Amino acid sequence: MALHHIKKPILFQGKGRKREYFEGWYYKQGSKDGKSVVALIPGISIAGRDDHCFVQSIYMSTDKGGNQIVNTSYFNYPLCEFSYKDDPFIVKIADNYFTESVVSVRLNGENSSIEGTLILDDLTTIRTSLLMPNIMGYFAYFPKMECYHGVMSMNHKVYGTLKVDGREINFDGGSGYLEKDWGTSFPKKYIWIQCNQFKSKGVSLFCSIANIPFMGSSFLGFICNIVIGTDEYRFATYNKSKLLIKNVDNRGVALLLTNKKAELKVEASINRGGKLISPRNGMMQDAIKEGLTGTVQITLQSRDRRLIYEGWSQLAGIEIVGFA
Give DSSP secondary structure letters for 210-229: EEEEETTEEEEEEEEEEEET
Domain definitions of the chain by residue range: 3-321
The DSSP bridge partners found for residue 184 are none
> Rounded to 10 degrees, what is the CA torsion of 224, 227, 233, 239?
40
- E-strand stretches of 14-51: 21-30, 36-46
- Sequence-distant (6+) residues with CB within 8 A of 16 are none
Q: What are phi and psi of 238, to 5 degrees?
A: -75, -10
Handedness of CA 171, 203, 122, 58 (dihedral sign): negative
Residue 88's Cβ-count burial label (10 Å; 0-12, 13-18, 19+) is exposed
| Predicted local confidence at residue 272, as pLDDT | 78
| Predicted local confidence at residue 242, as pLDDT | 98
| Predicted local confidence at residue 83, as pLDDT | 98
Q: What is the pTM of this model?
A: 0.97
Give DSSP secondary structure letters for 133-182: SSTTGGGGGSTT-SEEEEEEEEEEEEEEEEEETTEEEE-TTEEEEEEEEE
**Amino acid at position 81, single letter:** E
Residues of the chain with confidence (pLDDT) below 50: none
| Predicted local confidence at residue 92, as pLDDT | 98
| Predicted local confidence at residue 1, as pLDDT | 62
Arithmetic mean of pLDDT over the chain: 95
Q: Give the single-character DSSP code of 6.
A: H
CA angle 155, 294, 182 (to 5 degrees): 55
The DSSP bridge partners found for residue 309 are 300
- Chain-centroid distance, C-alpha 214: 23
Task: List, for residues 84-141, the tens digit of each pLDDT value.
Answer: 999 999 999 999 999 999 999 999 998 899 999 999 999 999 999 999 999 999 999 9
Burial 251-275 (b: 16+ CB within 10 A, else e): ebbebebebeebbbbbbbbbbebbe
| Predicted local confidence at residue 311, as pLDDT | 96
Which 3 state secondary structure label does DSSP give 90? strand
| Predicted local confidence at residue 65, as pLDDT | 83
Which 3 state secondary structure label does DSSP give 264? strand
